[in-house]
Structure 1
Amino acid sequence: MKLLKRGVVVVVLLSMVFALAGCQSTAKEEAKSEPVALTISAAASLKDAMTEIQILYLEEAPDTTLTLNFGSSGSLAQQIQQGAEVDVFMSASSKDMTTLKDAQLMSDDTVKNILGNEVVLVVPKDSTTTITSFDQLVDPPITKIGIGEPTSVPVGQYAVDVFNFYKITDQIESKIINGKDVKEVLTWVETGNVDAGVVYSTDAKVSTSVKVAAIAPADSHKTIVYPAGVVKASKNAEAATAFVDYLSSDAATEVFEKYGFTIL
């Protein structure tokens, strides 16, 4: 009889252990599968690289949903200032990131400089122009020059720096057409709507319809830096920080290098 009672007690205890283990396992599975949605606002020049990185990241974090929002750095920064729900901001200039940091809209300890780039002058692939330097933009055959809108597009700001460096700004002012972002400028050159355009070397690299006519000297413009960081209002700060950290991983670095970015 005592043996029977002991047997019943053992069975009951084992049942409780298995039940608790089952509950813990279920709880872990539920925690593991909790979905996280992140919105990433990134400079337009990052579109090709970030789209590829998105695929790689989702393989490592399958429960994460990434929404990529591309545009000029200035416009994206303004959206964040106006309350747009953004988790991560990646700019093509330190200026726009600093604007948000000064407004206390970024988690400062998450902001880091990720990439560098070059400014280049491109012309349509079938162009017969013999231009090989920025100062030749004053030549009569060049009637339309595409650049990013200088007040909101970093590459437009860098373009103005280069024009001032060569002291040609006043001479080419009437030729300049401002685009909403670097990709629009690239499209204008590809379609022949402008005779030349100022873009990043990474943009020129992914296009089969343009050719590089000249590379701007490094000392002709402000240093190009792409910083990234977590927006302070993010509702998923931990996951957002993990994504920013991933941008410096070996996998992400390989993608950025493939597209011609300099790793900082």
Structure 2
Amino acid sequence: MSRFLLLPIAMCFCCAASGAELVVSAAASLGNAFAELKPAFEAAHPGASLSLNLGASGALLQQIAKGAPADVFASADQESMDTAQRRGLLAAGKRVNFASNSLVLIVPVGGKCQPANLEQLLQTACGRIAIGVPGSVPAGRYAMAALESAGLRSAIERRMIAAQNVRQALDYVARGEVDAGFVYGTDAALLRDRVRVAFTVPTPQRILYPAAPIAGSAQAALAQAFVDYLVSPGAQAVLAKYGFGKP
């Protein structure tokens, strides 16, 4: 057994043996990777049960701020985590970046909208474009920042179809309900038979995923163990399998 696995077991056995539930509120784009991490983490912490609460980072932040059960927050952006930190919702000094991602523009396989860059989204064939609601969906904020930087925000904004999270934007494109959509590279890879990456969107800032234990969590040691696990070689290998980059 690895040195990494031994330490969390020693630290958390007392709190996990009684059947502790660890609630991890995580960005929707992390869903598949975290689902694979779940059994390995539980096996390393006998008696622990990891419960995933997936959604848009902004929406998760609001849930936590209103007192919804959560022990760990894993966001798809720095802004949501910064807000959580300012509000005193995070355990002090425990925040870490554990993954990176890219923003891409996808189109339905066989669709008429075939842009090679942001400017070509102005073509008639790209009439409906899915984007996460910028107020709560980090991918939507990254997309809007990219359009703003390119001087295209006002021209494209009237074509936008709002999505409640990045997976909904992916579904809209996959079902052909829109002509294009902004999603993460990791999301696009899930439906290669139904969507095609038209191009990678240049973003003004690097897309980094942070995680932190929630202040006052009843499972503080277990929450810290999960955050530590995210930057371990084993977890990083799983994240890489799903297309996430190093932080």
Q: Please give the TM-score of this superposition, normalised by the length of structure 1.
A: 0.85
User: 2:148 is matched with which residue?
Assistant: 164
Query: Deviation digits for residues 205-264 of structure 1, max 9, x if unmatched?
Result: 1113111001012xx332211100000021010111011101111111001001111112
> Matched residue of 1:63: which SS?
coil
Report if aligned partners of 1:229, 1:244 keep a CA contact under 8 Å in 2.
Answer: yes
Closer/same/farther in 2, CA of residues 139 and 60 from structure 1, 3 Å limit:
same
Counterpart selection for 1:244 from 205, 227, 234 = 227
Distance 2:240 2:232 in 1: 12
| Unmatched runs of 5 consecutive residues or more in structure 1 | 1-28
Structure label with greater radius of gyration:
1
Closer/same/farther in 2, CA of residues 158 and 210 from structure 1, 3 Å limit:
same
Counterpart selection for 2:195 from 210, 215, 224 = 210
Query: Deviation digits for residues 58-117 of structure 1, max 9, x if unmatched?
Result: 222231111100000000001111011100000001111111111111002211111111
Distance 1:243 1:106 in 2: 14
Q: Larger % of helix: which?
A: 1
Report if aligned partners of 1:146, 1:189 keep a CA contact under 8 Å in 2.
Answer: yes
> Matched residue of 2:52: which SS?
strand
Pair 1:257 & 2:229 matched: no
Report if aligned partners of 2:97, 2:209 keep a CA contact under 8 Å in 1.
Answer: yes
Q: Please give the TM-score of this superposition, normalised by the length of structure 2.
A: 0.91
Alignment of 1:21-32 (within 5 A): none
Alignment of 1:1-264 (within 5 A): 33-208=17-192, 209-217=194-202, 220-264=203-247
Output the aligned Cα RMSD.
1.5
Q: For this pair of structures, how many residues does the alignment match?
A: 234
Per the TM alignment, residue 30 of structure 1 is displaced from its structure 2 partner at its CA by 8.4
Report if aligned partners of 1:161, 1:222 keep a CA contact under 8 Å in 2.
Answer: no
Sequence identity (%)? 38
